[in-house]
Structure 1
Amino acid sequence: MSQLFTSRIAALRTAPWRNDITGIRRGIERETLRIKPDGTLSQQDHPPALGSALTHPLITTDFSESLLEFITPATTSIETTLAQLTDIHRFAMRQLGDERLGAGSMPCYIAHQDEIRLAYYGESNVGKMKTLYRQGLKNRYGSMMQAISGVHFNFSIPEAFWQHYQQMLGDTQPLQEFISAQYLHLIRNYKRYVWLIVYLFGASPAMCKSFLQGRQSKYSFQTLGSGTLYLPYATSLRMSDLGYTNSAQSSLAITYNNLPEYIRGLHQAITTPSAEYQAIGQGNAGEHQQLNSNILQIENEFYSTIRPKRTIKSGERPTCALAKRGVEYIEVRALDVNPFSAVGITAEQMRFLDLFLLYCLLEESPEQDAQAQAVTERNLKKVVTDGRRLNLELDQDGQPRLMQDWAEEIFAELSPVATWLDDAYQSADDPARSYQGILKQYYLSLLDPARTPSGKMLAMLQANQQDNGKVNLQLADLYRQQLLAGDYQHYQQAELLQMAADSLTEQQQIEAADTVGFDEYLQQYFAEKPC
């Protein structure tokens, strides 16, 4: 525990403004595949009853027509966020007929990647751009990787806290510059310690053999059932080289020491041509096959475990928004779908993320060059494939250290953060909301890897020698029944139906308002430079 961290948490716990932190805002983005009763991938269009995937504020699609994404507005209440997310699931389930929502991260029962239909967003220029971006992803990486589901956790600290915290640190730069710098400070530590999140929350130790599509793998998989591959100590195959990462991006020197540096690195990747992707060409009869042939088509193609974010305006590029208005919130992207929750995440997970992210903010955070970041990536990959192995060693400051010992130290440092939050939220005596209680709960998972989601999932599979796909389908059936039987907690059915109708109208208005051709639209979109 560093002296800096100790002094900061002590000052926060006694500050007259210590309750400002209760204004934390959180939002969830949960991805899930629509599947048929036999577990195979839905081939139906995005249902009109769910509204427009282009404009609906709560329900959209990700890579494919069958990959739904549910989005909650940012709120200051974990209970409200969970109620919103549950209602969105419940509404969708009632519009999907006999389809189910996949319960895990890794897809199953996909015979060929051509079964994965690209998401369609209508005939507007912005809609065509979104589909073409996905065509580029398919051509670059294949569609199977894009069928993986995850959960993103959006997290922002209230401005009232930032104002007082800046005064506490004696910082005199403009407030937004301070906020951006502090979010980057947090992100550097997150990258150092994200292996702990993957250990505690990883839930994909196994996958269907069809995911490999006949490709060779460097991993020594074991088999069970009729078509399941697994690694005995894996936590998250989703986060492995097989999953939702891009090994081709490993050479990108995108660092997080300050906001201009991050923007420059990302912008360079977006504007630097790639000989490999130039070979994709334009396709038959001059049809577009990707947005461009650069290393990254757009910012979203950069697969990072965390992103600094700023709400964008219509037609605005993310890097330009960051350059003009600074960091507004962060997006945590290293979360598997929790297969033991009907909505893919729990309140307990959100509270632990509060603790972890605030610890990353308060602890010392030295700058990291590309070489130092590479060390954090190697640590992460070790925990992804071997996180539940006893005596697993990671690299800490150039020295080997037992993961268990390092995690024990982090948990000790999380304890005063939990006390601070319980004081602020007055939650110490509430078993359902106590941050100290949540910390103790996850500490048990540290002591016993069998208690982690990945450990529990693998035990379920091995107990009956069942396939990963069959277990996920059983869970999908169970959650379908629960969601259909329950009542709305936050929204009303009529309200959600109106949102869907309004989004379809808005899409039509966007299509009617286009005044330039698609090629000119793309040229205009990429014309603005952030730096």
Structure 2
Amino acid sequence: MTHNYKNGDFALRLSLLKHSEIGASLRGIKHGVEREALRVTESGGLATSPHSPTFGSALTHEWITTDFSESLMEFITPPETDISKTIGQLSDIHKFVHESLKGESLWPLSMPCFIDANTRIPIARYGSSNIAKMKETYRHGLHNRYGSMMQVISGVHLNFSLPDTFWQHWCAALGLEVNKNTISEQYFALLRNFRRVSWLIPYLFGASPALCGSFIAHRKTKHDFKKLGKGTLYLPYATSLRMSDLGYTSSAQADLKICTDSLDNYVGSVRKAINMPAAQYEKIKAGQGGEWEQLNTNVLQIENELYAPIRPKQVAQYLEKPTDALERRGVSYLEVRGLDVNPFSQIGIDEQQIRFIDALLVYCLVAPSPYFSDEDHVLSKQNLNTVVLQGRDPLAMLYTSQGEKSLKSVASELMQDIKSVAGILDEVNNTSLYTQALLSEVEKVDKPELTFSGRLLGIMQDNDVDNSALGLELAKEYAASFSEIDYTYIEKQAFMSQSAVSKQKQMLIESQDDCDFTTFVRDYFAESTVKA
């Protein structure tokens, strides 16, 4: 009997991972972390001071930059196979930053600190070069489209890639030729399955069931918030308000159906959105009379504006658009974007989370992955929305191919399949840490109060403490903790050297500009074509 591994069931495809060469190659999985964190003052307000020169150039620094605002820092670790090393590098970055902050600390929650209505959230600055102006103009566009408050929500992105050796053996076992299109096809299969089960991430790791009342001051909301402490608003069963319609959402993107059937279809649908006019943005100036309040009037200014729980990525060269990089070289890694900042970790994420997500992502690769129908798009969004708003409700229901089922039953079945993958990852890495991570998450399915959101809300309710007060307490505790640990992978001198090098790189970029900004923007977008 000949098995069709390419389109076979989960058990058949899972058996391939047990082949020695394929299994051994899983040791080459690489990770990188991007952690966002607001700087706050000693009283817990937003620190509006500029990004410190001590950290070098936000435009070119390899590890320390800014996101939307001067106040919103972003820390980046390089791709590594050793999860402990990734955690150690992220800890080193935090240590250096904390040593350099004067009277400030890093906010340990995803939803922002108290921000007064009169507080001006400073948009990030990157220098005088055209690329710097483009980054700033894009951020002005985000401010004018969605408001700055939404843009200072913090998250954690986990980058994940499988090694070339894995793809060689995996594709050979499936009877496929190894090339960029085949590898991209397999990554997209993984991505589709992840989107089907993406609700599991906010259920387990969502950590924003509450927010400061200042976040929605003067905004209408359909949610029936409960009050806690002096000014905290919360939903009793919410897991991640960051991922709800209060957070990373865009009405203009609501009807976008970005196609994940293939690399070409994905690139084409994203490019279509970048070139699709949006009537609600037409009044915001995009170069008229030399005034730049956004990059263009389309649904997406650039690819980065696309909100998604996971993205296919390729390392882009200087001034290369993400879709161009994907088209030319295919998918090289995936960016998992649905993670709230872990408030129980001083660096916003922990090793156990990464090990569980590894098992989840490999499961998503192994499980059969049909193309998304229009109904699949709708149901996956509805399931995600259900979990972010009421995921800990014992009566929460999810849509499946067999009809509606309880969240608990769907999660329990899913965990059984992920457990099989965790066991294989343990075997090839000569450890038990993957199964331990899995079992810890399984316990949260049975006991929602053990989820990050359940624990966090429980602390606030038991102590009648605002999330702002709790956030400030944790921020100061974590800041102090870094004075008690040593650098492990990146020494302080390396940070100082990188700071100096990044400033030199910025100066070089500024010296090489050879056209005005309007021409620069026109040329940047000229390469982008809309494909059917």
**TM-score scaled by length of structure 1:** 0.97
Instruction: Tell me how far apart the structure 2 counterparts of residues 367 and 113 of structure 1 sit (CA, whole Å).
Output: 48
1:464 deviates by: 1.6
Choose 364-373 or 229-238, whichever is displaced more: 364-373
- 1:382 counterpart SS class: helix
- 2:526 counterpart SS class: coil
1:15 deviates by: 3.5
1:509 deviates by: 1.1
2:111 aligns to what? 106
CA RMSD of aligned residues (A): 1.4
Taking the TM superposition and a 5 Å limit, the aligned residue runs for 1:361-440 are 361-397=365-401, 399-428=403-432, 434-440=433-439
Q: In the alignment, which of 353, 358, 372 is matched to residue 354 of structure 1?
A: 358
Q: Does 2:254 match 1:250?
A: yes
Choose 182-191 or 11-20, whichever is displaced more: 11-20
Instruction: Tell me how far apart the structure 2 counterparts of residues 332 and 324 of structure 1 sit (CA, whole Å).
Output: 22
- 1:73 counterpart SS class: coil
1:129 aligns to what? 134
Q: Is the 8 A contact 1:113 1:143 kept in 2?
A: no
Instruction: Tell me how far apart the structure 2 counterparts of residues 179 and 347 of structure 1 sit (CA, whole Å).
Output: 27
Q: Does 2:509 match 1:510?
A: yes
Q: In the alignment, which of 34, 40, 45 is matched to residue 40 of structure 1?
A: 45
Choose 355-364 or 275-284, whichever is displaced more: 275-284
- 2:337 counterpart SS class: strand
Q: Is the 8 A contact 2:252 2:278 kept in 1?
A: no
- 2:158 counterpart SS class: strand
1:391 deviates by: 2.1
1:423-450 Cα shifts (integer Å, max 9, x gaps) = 100003xxxxx21111111111111001
Q: Is the 8 A contact 1:201 1:336 kept in 2?
A: yes
Q: In the alignment, which of 172, 193, 209 is matched to residue 197 of structure 2?
A: 193
- 1:111 counterpart SS class: coil
* Aligned amino acid, residue 476 of structure 1: A
Choose 489-498 or 6-15, whichever is displaced more: 6-15
Q: Is the 8 A contact 2:112 2:212 kept in 1?
A: yes
Q: Is the 8 A contact 1:235 1:384 kept in 2?
A: yes
Change (3 A) 1:501 1:16: closer
Change (3 A) 1:103 1:281: same
1:362-392 Cα shifts (integer Å, max 9, x gaps) = 0011100333112100000000000000021
Q: Is the 8 A contact 2:160 2:335 kept in 1?
A: yes
Q: Is the 8 A contact 1:163 1:175 kept in 2?
A: no
1:85 aligns to what? 90
Q: Is the 8 A contact 2:189 2:369 kept in 1?
A: yes
Instruction: Tell me how far apart the structure 2 counterparts of residues 9 and 189 of structure 1 sit (CA, whole Å).
Output: 15
Gaps of 5+ in 1: 429-433
Instruction: Tell me how far apart the structure 1 counterparts of residues 166 and 512 of structure 2 sit (CA, whole Å).
Output: 42
Q: Is the 8 A contact 2:286 2:295 kept in 1?
A: no
Tell me which stretches of 4 or more aligned residues in structure 1 moved more than 6 Å: none
* Aligned amino acid, residue 19 of structure 1: A
Q: Is the 8 A contact 2:286 2:296 kept in 1?
A: no
1:389-409 Cα shifts (integer Å, max 9, x gaps) = 002111102611111001010
2:278 aligns to what? 274
1:43 deviates by: 1.2
1:170 deviates by: 1.1
Instruction: Tell me how far apart the structure 2 counterparts of residues 507 and 16 of structure 1 sit (CA, whole Å).
Output: 44
1:12 deviates by: 1.7
1:323 aligns to what? 327
Question: How many pairs does the alignment contain?
Answer: 524
Q: In the alignment, which of 286, 304, 309 is matched to residue 308 of structure 2?
A: 304
- 1:33 counterpart SS class: strand
1:485 aligns to what? 484
1:113 deviates by: 7.1
- 2:46 counterpart SS class: coil
1:459 aligns to what? 458
- 1:308 counterpart SS class: strand
1:274 deviates by: 1.3
- 2:296 counterpart SS class: coil
- 2:18 counterpart SS class: helix
1:431 aligns to what? none
1:201 deviates by: 0.4
Instruction: Tell me how far apart the structure 1 counterparts of residues 471 and 277 of structure 2 sit (CA, whole Å).
Output: 41
Instruction: Tell me how far apart the structure 1 counterparts of residues 528 and 132 of structure 2 sit (CA, whole Å).
Output: 22
Q: In the alignment, which of 223, 242, 247 is matched to residue 238 of structure 1?
A: 242
Instruction: Tell me how far apart the structure 2 counterparts of residues 461 and 19 of structure 1 sit (CA, whole Å).
Output: 45
1:522 aligns to what? 521
Instruction: Tell me how far apart the structure 1 counterparts of residues 269 and 499 of structure 2 sit (CA, whole Å).
Output: 38
Q: Is the 8 A contact 1:113 1:142 kept in 2?
A: no
Q: Is the 8 A contact 1:32 1:102 kept in 2?
A: yes
* Aligned amino acid, residue 186 of structure 1: L
1:256 deviates by: 0.5
- 1:243 counterpart SS class: coil
- 2:344 counterpart SS class: coil
1:216-243 Cα shifts (integer Å, max 9, x gaps) = 1111000011110000000000000001
Taking the TM superposition and a 5 Å limit, the aligned residue runs for 1:69-84 are 69-84=74-89
Choose 199-208 or 440-449, whichever is displaced more: 440-449
Change (3 A) 1:506 1:14: closer
Instruction: Tell me how far apart the structure 2 counterparts of residues 276 and 82 of structure 1 sit (CA, whole Å).
Output: 42
Percent identical residues: 45
1:98 deviates by: 1.2
**TM-score scaled by length of structure 2:** 0.97
Instruction: Tell me how far apart the structure 2 counterparts of residues 499 and 480 of structure 1 sit (CA, whole Å).
Output: 22
- 2:352 counterpart SS class: helix
- 2:421 counterpart SS class: helix
* Aligned amino acid, residue 376 of structure 1: S
Instruction: Tell me how far apart the structure 1 counterparts of residues 370 and 345 of structure 2 sit (CA, whole Å).
Output: 37
Q: Does 2:147 match 1:148?
A: no
Instruction: Tell me how far apart the structure 2 counterparts of residues 373 and 398 of structure 1 sit (CA, whole Å).
Output: 16
- 1:177 counterpart SS class: helix
- 2:159 counterpart SS class: strand
Q: In the alignment, which of 50, 53, 59 is matched to residue 55 of structure 2?
A: 50
Instruction: Tell me how far apart the structure 1 counterparts of residues 411 and 384 of structure 2 sit (CA, whole Å).
Output: 13
* Aligned amino acid, residue 229 of structure 2: G
1:319-364 Cα shifts (integer Å, max 9, x gaps) = 0111111001000000000000000000000000000000000001
1:215 aligns to what? 219
Instruction: Tell me how far apart the structure 1 counterparts of residues 276 and 34 of structure 2 sit (CA, whole Å).
Output: 30
1:194 deviates by: 0.7
Instruction: Tell me how far apart the structure 1 counterparts of residues 330 and 288 of structure 2 sit (CA, whole Å).
Output: 42
* Aligned amino acid, residue 355 of structure 1: A
Instruction: Tell me how far apart the structure 1 counterparts of residues 309 and 374 of structure 2 sit (CA, whole Å).
Output: 15
- 1:395 counterpart SS class: strand
Choose 245-254 or 464-473, whichever is displaced more: 245-254
1:37 deviates by: 0.3
Taking the TM superposition and a 5 Å limit, the aligned residue runs for 1:152-191 are 152-172=157-177, 174-191=178-195
1:337 aligns to what? 341
Change (3 A) 1:369 1:113: farther
2:4 aligns to what? none
1:285 deviates by: 6.2
1:55-92 Cα shifts (integer Å, max 9, x gaps) = 00000000000000000000000000000000001001
2:3 aligns to what? none
Instruction: Tell me how far apart the structure 1 counterparts of residues 255 and 415 of structure 2 sit (CA, whole Å).
Output: 33
- 2:31 counterpart SS class: strand
